Amino acid sequence: MPYCSEQSFRSQFEFLQRQFLQDGGLPLSDVLSRETVQQALDTVEVAWNERVYTPIVTLWIFLGQVLSADHSCRHAVARFLAHRVSRGETRCSSRTGAYCQARKRLPEQFFSTIARLVGKALEDRSQDEWLWKGRHVYLFDGTTVLMPDTEANQEAYPQTWNQKAGAGLPLARIGAIFSLSCGVILDLATAKYAGKGQGEVSLLHKLSDMFSEGDVLLADALMCNWRVLQSLQQRGVDTVTRINKALRTPDFRLGERLGKEDHIVMWKKPTMRNVDHETYRSMPAFIRVRETRIRIEQPGFRTKVMVVVTTLLDSEEFTKEDLAALYRERWNNEVCQAGYTERSHLYLEAA
């Protein structure tokens, strides 16, 4: 075991649970369990001694730092120091060096494991009335984040080819899967900003193992391509997205008519340069896809028109109104992305 003793672990976890989860008033005390923390600690491959900034204490300070309005290390350490003094414990240094070093010793996997386990615990507790027609809906979206200009960051996330050497900060691409029912991030993937296999579609493929049969993916127009829809449909996962106008233009005169500007069409398999011949031949020649034009009318605003593409083909169970209301939920994802980006910056900085 990389941590010192069962008794020490128990006392430190009780400290984390009591001071941050309960006294802090956050609804995490029953999902950030002892088992979750211990499983995350198993990812730490370095031993640590009994010191002030143990992994659990460092986690507590880091969570407070991310959630605080002041994200500075100085504020985080001052908050921890005040806590120690209030409990009559030995006063430690107010310098941030020891905390920053302790945080650097914890690998990125430690934080990502905790995030995934807590997210899964929250999603598993979703009530039936939170689901969409009895189904779990997951949102996928991507963004970019700037990081400190260090050698390690430059090596992991190099500058793009059209940037001058030494100009600009390291830039990473992030893709995340959110739960529509409770809003929690369930999984996260990072990549370089540019290069083969570094785009948002590639990040989605990396995260797709978390989907189960019957789930629904709600995504933007970038995910509206033949391979994404086919690979998920093959696993029993449906997709709701917006048509990618750069790839195709809908023609509602064709296909199987379901209603006004609502039809099922056959999408032909395109040429794929990044797929080997055997895999390409194993894919079907066509997939059935539903296209429906939706008009969004809101008093005082200009009417907006969009075409939703989905593999939910039953127009009686999934009406146009149902699809319009579901796609509107993507705006919740867009609104929260600013805070998500800011917290992702600190998440990557801790790696």
**What does the pLDDT look like over 292-319, one tens digit per residue?**
999 877 776 665 888 999 999 999 999 9
Residue 121 domain flag: no
| 69 and 138 together in one domain | no
200 and 107 belong to one structural domain: no
Q: How many CB atoms lie under 10 A from the CB of residue 51? A: 10
Q: How buried is residue 252: exposed, middle or buried, by Cβ count under 10 Å (0-12/13-18/19+)?
A: middle
The pLDDT assigned to 11 comes to 62
Task: For residue range 251-297, list pLDDT tens digits in order.
Answer: 999 999 999 999 999 999 998 888 888 999 999 999 999 999 998 77
Question: How many whole angstroms separate alpha carbon 111 and alpha carbon 108?
Answer: 6
Name the domain boundary from 87, 112, 137: 112
Domain-located, residue 240 = yes
Give yes or no for residue 350 having a pLDDT over 50. Answer: no
Please indicate, yes or no, whether residues 151 and 57 belong to a single structural domain of this protein.
Answer: no
Percent of the chain scoring above 90 in pLDDT: 27
Say whether both 192 and 305 belong to one domain.
yes
Number of domains observed in the structure of the chain: 2
pLDDT in tens, 212-236: 999 999 999 989 999 999 999 999 9
205 Cβ contact list (under 8 Å, min separation 6):
228, 231
Tell me, yes or no, whether 119 lies in a domain: no
Q: Are residues 142 and 107 in the same domain?
A: no
Gap between the Cα atoms of 299 and 102, Å rounded: 55
- Residues forming a β-bridge with 142: 175
Domain boundary (55, 82, 112) is at 112
Which range marks the domain in which residue 262 is found? 126-342
DSSP per-residue letters across 62-93: HHHHHHSS---HHHHHHHHHHHHHHTTPPP--
88 & 141 share domain: no
Answer whether residue 38 shows pLDDT above 80. no
Pair of tokens at residue 100: 């920053």
Residues 35 and 130 in one domain: no
Q: Say if residue 203 is in the same domain as residue 160.
A: yes
Residue 250 lies in a domain: yes
Average pLDDT over residues 338-344: 45
Q: What is the pTM of this model?
A: 0.75
pLDDT at position 229: 95
191 with 293, same domain: the answer is yes
Is residue 101 located within the same domain as residue 163?
Answer: no
Q: Are residues 219 and 315 in the same domain?
A: yes
Q: Is residue 348 part of a domain?
A: no
CB 193 within 8 A of CB 346: no
Mark whether 195 and 87 lie in a shared domain. no
